[in-house]
Structure 1
Amino acid sequence: METFPKIISVDDHTVEPAHVWRDRLPSKYADSGPRIVRAPLKEMTFMGGKFAPVMGAKGDDGPIGDWWVYEDLHRPLTRLDTAVGYDRDEIKLEVITYEQMRPGSFSVPERLADMDVNHVQSALCFPTFPRFCGQTFTEAKDRELGLLGVRAYNDWMVEEWCGPDAHGRLIPLTLVPLWDARLAADEVRRNAARGVRAVAFSEIPPHLGLPSIHTDDWDPFLQACDETGTVIAMHIGSSSKMPSTSADAPPAVGSTITFANCCFSMVDWLMSGKFERFPNLRIMYAEGQIGWIPYILERADVVWEENRAWGGVADKVHRPPSELFTEHVYGCFFDDAFGLKNLDSIGVGNVLYETDYPHSDSTWPKSREVGEAQMGHLDADVVDRIVRRNAIDLLGLTDDGLWAGPGTGA
């Protein structure tokens, strides 16, 4: 491919600097709000899709790492949070400090430099400590503090991470208080008023003890997204339950089938009737890949056509699910040659590109080379749509692919 378009990645990640909540929460929360503590690791496992770290006491033996401490939660920074730049065989489940991670994980200037190395123009970033849709705050005991924590993260995301130093190249993705749909709607509108067009949400809310998308409980939140043109972004693992097959299955099993939650979630949305009620809703699945989509659409259409009388959808889903998909759903990939070979069955307008920086699956610093190898059979205009134009249209970016929020200079 003679020229490969500058990439707009719709799924990268930020590792929050230690000061995010320390600087933004009232002083009375200094000992209960999120804060960094350097401590040894006592033990840590990741089996059956469950991550279980245990922090040691001061003076204990064990590798030293930086831990987020929040109420009763102790969550370490790990090599899996920021793995780029390391040989694959060196990427292990181990605790690290900020000094041991690549600076682009948490520093805007270094992030932009790493984006330049990787042929990336702009990037939308999911959180780390709050987890992919803010589950950390949803699971906390103090709801007042949780709401303040969500708002503090969003203020940091908009004003600092995506602020003037980013020059419009970092695209904001905000959180909502998932435990209250009306508060969530308020937060969507608060951020939309300052140019935010994407909000994180759970792929399968019932796994978090929350109502399913089939209820009316989420309607205030969905209405706010519909009215403001805010895209609902769902990352694999945003239900705090990664796919696995057994309690003793190694992480490689879950890593192979990570798309499964996206698959289940998409069927939920297509059969929920929400797209009929909120016609401006758009949803995207980060890191879910796209190769599985054609069969699911085929099967969903068959079920809708043949079984809707007893399937519970006749009164709310009035068009084939594949049509609803075309208008409302976006699949995101970073390495999916099979999906690209079946692009006609997915839809050129429903696919977005990502680099997953700085995670272990990331194609950094070779995202361009991976894209060229897998998209070489496609016309240049199709490649341009996948790599940047679809993201520009979906996220309301400038024609140059930049976020034009307050103070960006874009």
Structure 2
Amino acid sequence: MSVDLQEQAATESGGGSGGSTGFGELPRIISVDDHVIEPAHLFERWLPAKYRERGPQAVRTGIGRLEYTGASYKITTDPDGPLADWWFYEDLRFPYKRNIAAAGFSRDQMTLEGITRDEMRPGLYDPAERLKDMDLNHVEASLCFPTFPRFCGQTFHEARDKELALACVRAYNDWMVEEWCGDSGGRLIPLVIVPLWDVGLAVAEVVRNADRGVRAVCFSEIPAFLGLPSIHTGHWDPFFRTCEERGVAVNMHIGSSSTMPAASPDAPAAVQASLSFNNAMASMADFIFAGVPARFPRIKLAYSEGQMGWIPYALERMDDVWEEHRAWAGVGDDLSEPPSSYFRRNMYACFFRDRHGVDSLDIIGPDNVTFETDYPHVDSTWPNTRKVAEEHLARLDAETVYKVVRGNAIRMLDLDFDK
């Protein structure tokens, strides 16, 4: 990161008004989708000693080839190549890249090149510095998804040694709760992962963390894409039941199925980036017609970074299918209400830039929408999130704006703010 950009980001408050609004002062934002770059000491400090030698190792070395193929990355190390910070874990070689550590860089610098922590803003991996970057951006509290473990812990699900993988899941969660969030005064909101390969272990991890106040867990938008049982099988019902009973919101980030939609196998990444909301749309139909919110009427399902402009037609179409196609289309007997009713009772959309969605808020429902900054990814509105929010929400009344930028997040995550 250049010194000029660091200084610019450090002095940008993001607090300048985007113009006149109908709601007055913008409330402090609670962002329900940000990201953390794991510190190099995470597993060395938090894994039990007997696992540390075999656990993820923080390595700084050069990158050889780094290519995005449309479905995955092809990556090689090269001691003589440009330096990057990596995790080495079993056969996995995972480097951090500029497009996921983009805060403070210009758009043209947000590339797939490798990056070291020394080149990143410290707020990406240091909780005290993260709070400072949140203050610059009119953000009071933040829920952060993992990077190396991936959006719902796929890294450990794919590992061979499941005893070690379970220890890594628990170590990550202990770090998340006790170190990343521990001294933040509640401003950094814990979000944990679970061992996806064993639903009983997943339930136990939800309980272990709920007992210490955690109210958010990562899950896959489409677990079948990970080679796991689909949500139509009933396999995941013990997990959903536990989340419902403990008041734990199930957070499904786009890409948490390790699959992004594209029209052609050789399409550039721009196609997948443009269509990323499709996974949230597909997942929403999957969950509703699988009867998950019907069986668990108090469950909270959150579509992180899914945006929302697509929701009005998706609900209209699902309601039509429920009404017109029930005789043949596999509409379950337990789906006693139109699909849109389950969305409004159990589901939350999440957006950062979506003018069409805001214009459709009366159809989507102002109680079902949350807000994010996506810090520090390439899509992030940091450090100008306040300006972006004011411009998007300018025509809304104060009560609705409060719900969108913080009130619904407080309810979804059972936070102590404003209570």
* Range class of TM-score, shorter chain: over 0.9
2:30 aligns with 8
Asked if 1:328 corresponds to 2:346, the answer is yes
1:63 aligns with 82
Identify which range, 38-47 or 392-401, moves more after superposition: 392-401
Where structure 2 has 5 or more consecutive residues not aligned to the other structure, the ranges are 1-20
Q: How many angstroms does 1:3 deviate by?
A: 0.5
Kindly, what percent of the aligned residue pairs are identical? 56
1:88 aligns with 107
Q: How many angstroms does 1:168 deviate by?
A: 1.1
Q: How many angstroms does 1:230 deviate by?
A: 0.5
1:271 aligns with 289
Q: Which one-letter code corresponds to 1:279 in the other structure?
A: P
Q: Which one-letter code corresponds to 1:113 in the other structure?
A: K
CA deviation vs aligned residue, 1:91-116 (integer Å, no higher than 9, x gap)? 11100111011110000111000000
Q: Which one-letter code corresponds to 2:124 in the other structure?
A: S
Asked if 1:348 corresponds to 2:342, the answer is no
Asked if 1:104 corresponds to 2:123, the answer is yes
Q: How many angstroms does 1:278 deviate by?
A: 1.2
Which of 207, 218, 230 pairs up with 1:189? Answer: 207
User: Normalized against structure 1, the TM-score is what?
Assistant: 0.95
Q: How many angstroms does 1:235 deviate by?
A: 0.3
Q: Which one-letter code corresponds to 2:287 in the other structure?
A: W
- Return the alpha-carbon distance in structure 1 between the equivalents of residues 185 and 139 of structure 2: 14
- Return the alpha-carbon distance in structure 2 between the equivalents of residues 132 and 52 of structure 1: 19
Q: How many angstroms does 1:26 deviate by?
A: 2.9
Which of 23, 32, 39 pairs up with 2:61? Answer: 39
Which of 378, 381, 389 pairs up with 1:371? Answer: 389
Over the residues paired in the alignment, what is the CA RMSD in angstroms?
1.1
Task: Give the aligned length.
Answer: 397
Asked if 1:362 corresponds to 2:402, the answer is no
Q: Which one-letter code corresponds to 2:32 in the other structure?
A: V
User: Normalized against structure 2, the TM-score is what?
Assistant: 0.93
Q: Which one-letter code corresponds to 1:182 in the other structure?
A: G
- With over 3 angstroms needed to count, the CA separation of the structure-2 counterparts of 1:115 and 1:177, relative to structure 1, is same
CA deviation vs aligned residue, 1:380-409 (integer Å, no higher than 9, x gap)? 1100000001111111111338xxxxxxxx
1:406 aligns with none
- Return the alpha-carbon distance in structure 1 between the equivalents of residues 74 and 284 of structure 2: 29
Q: Which one-letter code corresponds to 1:315 in the other structure?
A: D
Q: Which one-letter code corresponds to 1:211 in the other structure?
A: P
Three-state SS of the structure 2 residue aligned to 1:348 is coil
Which of 26, 29, 32 pairs up with 2:51? Answer: 29
- Return the alpha-carbon distance in structure 2 between the equivalents of residues 362 and 327 of structure 1: 29
Are the aligned partners of 2:43 and 2:52 in contact in 1 as well (CA < 8 Å)?
A: no
Q: How many angstroms does 1:316 deviate by?
A: 2.6
Asked if 1:145 corresponds to 2:164, the answer is yes
Asked if 1:205 corresponds to 2:227, the answer is no
Where structure 1 has 5 or more consecutive residues not aligned to the other structure, the ranges are 402-410
Identify which range, 283-292 or 21-30, moves more after superposition: 21-30
Are the aligned partners of 1:233 and 1:283 in contact in 2 as well (CA < 8 Å)?
A: yes
Are the aligned partners of 2:173 and 2:192 in contact in 1 as well (CA < 8 Å)?
A: yes
Three-state SS of the structure 2 residue aligned to 1:377 is coil
Asked if 1:123 corresponds to 2:145, the answer is no
Q: How many angstroms does 1:32 deviate by?
A: 2.1
Q: Which one-letter code corresponds to 1:41 in the other structure?
A: I
Q: How many angstroms does 1:315 deviate by?
A: 1.5
CA deviation vs aligned residue, 1:189-209 (integer Å, no higher than 9, x gap)? 111111111100000101110
- Return the alpha-carbon distance in structure 2 between the equivalents of residues 142 and 372 of structure 1: 49
Three-state SS of the structure 2 residue aligned to 1:302 is helix
Which of 121, 129, 151 pairs up with 1:132? Answer: 151
- Return the alpha-carbon distance in structure 2 between the equivalents of residues 314 and 177 of structure 1: 29
Three-state SS of the structure 1 residue aligned to 2:98 is coil
1:404 aligns with none
Q: How many angstroms does 1:23 deviate by?
A: 1.2
Are the aligned partners of 1:49 and 1:254 in contact in 2 as well (CA < 8 Å)?
A: no
Are the aligned partners of 1:50 and 1:242 in contact in 2 as well (CA < 8 Å)?
A: no
- Return the alpha-carbon distance in structure 1 between the equivalents of residues 332 and 348 of structure 2: 24
